[in-house]
């Protein structure tokens, strides 16, 4: 991003600091085997995001934060195909028992963690995620996962729409292409979320 572009955003009032009050929760978006594999849906910096998210998940569990995971899961017969799968037909291969739809082993959910199944980019749309987070009293939602420009971004926008304060942990999100990854981190930081790497994010929260 050119410096004069950033100056334009700042001059127009974008990118303000946003307080991040407790309680906190962690949402891990679509870190499944298919997105870990560069031959299927992966590539770019997704492997590094998975490795970092393993540490973030361990921290969330140690703090007792609510944790939610999302998976894209279509019906075996494609009966629930939609406009998303029309645009990306290979998404229909992500079915309940397909190995590529399984959450990666190092992030396997444990008892008490919510697993949201979805057929559209946002982890909120058509799911009970918002109600679950509200029931838990969550105010600030940390977001990790893949891909930054797609399902992560869609979930961040819907988190904001539901009144949660999104904190995008920048080294825990990844994309198959780095251009969209960086552009979307910039845009989310200016309009919708706090965007910062894990070390700084946890430091911010420890001071609140």
Secondary structure letter of residue 188 according to DSSP:
H
- Domain positions in the chain are 21-206
Cα–Cα distance for residue pair 79/130, rounded to 1 Å = 26
pLDDT tens-digit map of 55-78: 999 999 999 999 999 999 999 999
pLDDT tens-digit map of 169-184: 999 999 999 999 999 9
Residue with tokens 């909120």: 124
Confidence of residue 4 (pLDDT cuts 50, 70, 90): confident
Q: Which helix or strand (DSSP H or E) is residue 170 part of?
A: strand 165-174
Task: Output the pTM of the full model.
Answer: 0.96
Of the candidates 57, 72, 151, 173, the residue annotated as catalytic is 151
May I ask the CATH architecture of the domain 21-206? 3-Layer(aba) Sandwich (3.40)
Cβ–Cβ contacts within 10 Å for residue 34, how many?
A: 24
CB 28 within 8 A of CB 46: no
φ/ψ of 71, rounded to 5, equals -135, 145
> In b/e form, how buried is each residue of 35-53, taking b as 16+ CB within 10 angstroms?
bbbeeebbbbbbbebbebb
Cα–Cα distance for residue pair 203/94, rounded to 1 Å = 36
Active site residue 172: no
| SS3 state of residue 110 | coil
Residue 182: how many CA atoms within 13 Å on its side-chain side?
A: 6
Mean pLDDT taken over the chain? 96
pLDDT at 1 over 80: no
pLDDT tens-digit map of 75-104: 999 999 999 999 999 999 999 999 999 999
């Amino acid at each position: 991003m050119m410096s004069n572009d950033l100056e334009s955003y700042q001059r127009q009032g974008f990118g303000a600091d946003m307080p991040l009050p407790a309680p906190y929760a962690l949402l891990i978006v679509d870190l499944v085997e298919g997105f870990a594999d560069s031959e299927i849906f992966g590539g770019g910096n997704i492997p590094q995001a998975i490795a970092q998210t393993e540490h973030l998940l361990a921290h969330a569990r140690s703090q007792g934060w609510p944790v939610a995971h999302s998976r894209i899961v279509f019906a075996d017969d494609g009966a629930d195909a939609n406009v998303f799968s029309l645009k990306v037909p290979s998404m229909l291969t992500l079915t309940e028992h397909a190995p590529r739809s399984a959450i990666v082993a190092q992030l396997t959910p444990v008892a008490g963690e919510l697993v949201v199944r979805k057929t559209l980019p946002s982890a909120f749309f058509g799911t009970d995620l918002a109600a679950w987070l509200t029931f838990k009293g969550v105010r600030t939602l940390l977001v990790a996962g893949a891909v930054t420009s797609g399902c992560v971004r869609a979930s961040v926008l819907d988190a904001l729409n539901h009144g949660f304060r999104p904190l995008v942990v920048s080294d825990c999100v990844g994309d198959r292409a780095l251009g969209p990854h960086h552009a979307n981190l910039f845009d989310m930081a200016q309009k919708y979320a706090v965007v910062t790497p894990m070390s700084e994010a946890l430091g911010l929260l420890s001071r609140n």
